[in-house]
Amino acid sequence: MEQRLNKFLSACGVGSRRKCEAFIIEGRITVNNVIVKELATKITDNDIVKFDDKVIMHEKKTYVLLNKPEGVVTTLNDPEGRKTVGEYFKKLPYIKPVGRLDMFSSGVLLLTNDGDLLYKLTHPKFQIPKVYKVTINRKIDNLISEKIKKGVRLDDGKIAKGEVLKIMTRNGRTEVILELREGINREIRRIFEILGFRVLKLDRTKFAGLGKGKLKEGEWRHLDPSEVEYLQNLLNQSEK
């Protein structure tokens, strides 16, 4: 049976259809070892499709949660030779990180080959909650909390908002539990830098309501069916 190449790639978790179209135009997709750049390309079950020279196949949908350590890059391949999250999942089907967690941050990271779920979990309109424990160099007061809630203008003009859920101070350092829903690049570090604080450690404790549980840094697990259903229900509610 024939189907559009971009539809096949998206169904296999490579990305949204628009993203897959961009990959085709960039020449990153081959069919039977021949680069294709025509968006109307159709394939059959007998064709061998590769993305960045890795074979792409229809796989059972896979959902995993990783407690990412610091120093690990949230990509599947890194041209600079740094350790990537992809190294943890070499024996699994092709899965992609849901969003980004910068190299110097740790914590909850979801990965999946469910292209539709991945797209929705990372799209700003769905307002997916993400909770972080931010360790900063000095005390924070309620005035700062209000500023973060109302919105902090970043250096590029974007407004970053969040809600401070809890503040804990000990040994001259302060831990702030902060919830975000936008997903601006390096948002938390930029917020606190503008407000005059230095982030010493950044750990994501929850993504879309899912926490790391007993997972140590570098450990991962498959999501339970009930957790996948929970994510799907969360997204359905956000669409209403």
Domains of the chain: 3-56 (3.10.290.10), 63-124+212-239 (3.30.70.580), 129-207 (3.30.70.1560)
Return the higher-pLDDT residue of 240 and 157. 157
Q: What is the DSSP string of 17-76?
A: HHHHHHHHHTT-EEETTEE---TT-EE-TT--EEETTEEE------EEEEEEPTT-BSSS
CB 31, CB 56: distance < 8 Å: no
Query: What integer is the mean pLDDT of 129-150?
Result: 93
Residue 56: partners with Cβ closer than 8 Å, 6 or more residues away: 8, 9, 12, 14, 49, 50, 94
What's the pLDDT band for 240 if we cut at 50, 70, 90? low
Residues 132-159 have a mean pLDDT of 93
**Of 68, 148, 138, 142, whose CA–CA distance to 100 is shortest?**
68
| Strand, coil or helix: 2 | coil
pTM confidence score: 0.77
- How are beta strands 199-207 and 42-43 bridged, if at all? unpaired
Q: Is 230 exposed, middle or buried (0-12, 13-18, 19+ CB in 10 A)?
A: middle
Which residues are the active-site residues?
A: 102
For the record, the structure tokens of 128 come out as: 């997916």
Half-sphere exposure in the Cβ direction for 111 (13 Å, CA): 26
> How far from the centroid of its chain's Cα atoms is residue 67's Cα?
12
| Residue 145, pLDDT above cutoff 90 | yes
Q: What is the pLDDT of residue 56?
A: 87
Burial of 217 (0-12, 13-18, 19+ CB in 10 A): middle
Q: Quick one: pLDDT band at residue 97, thresholds 50, 70, 90?
A: very high
Query: Is 98 a residue whose pLDDT tops 80?
Result: yes
pLDDT of the residue at 16:
80
Report yes or no: 111 and 100 within 8 Å, Cβ to Cβ.
no
pLDDT at 201: 96
Does the structure show a pLDDT above 90 at 84? yes
Q: How far apart are the first and last CA of the chain?
A: 35
Decide: 36 and 195 in contact? Cβ < 8 Å: no
Instruction: Round to whole Å and give the CA distance between 88 and 123.
Output: 25
Indicate the pLDDT class of residue 239, thresholds 50, 70 and 90. low
Say which residue, 140 or 238, is predicted with more confidence. Answer: 140
**Residue 209 DSSP class:** T
Find residue 153's DSSP bridge partners: 159
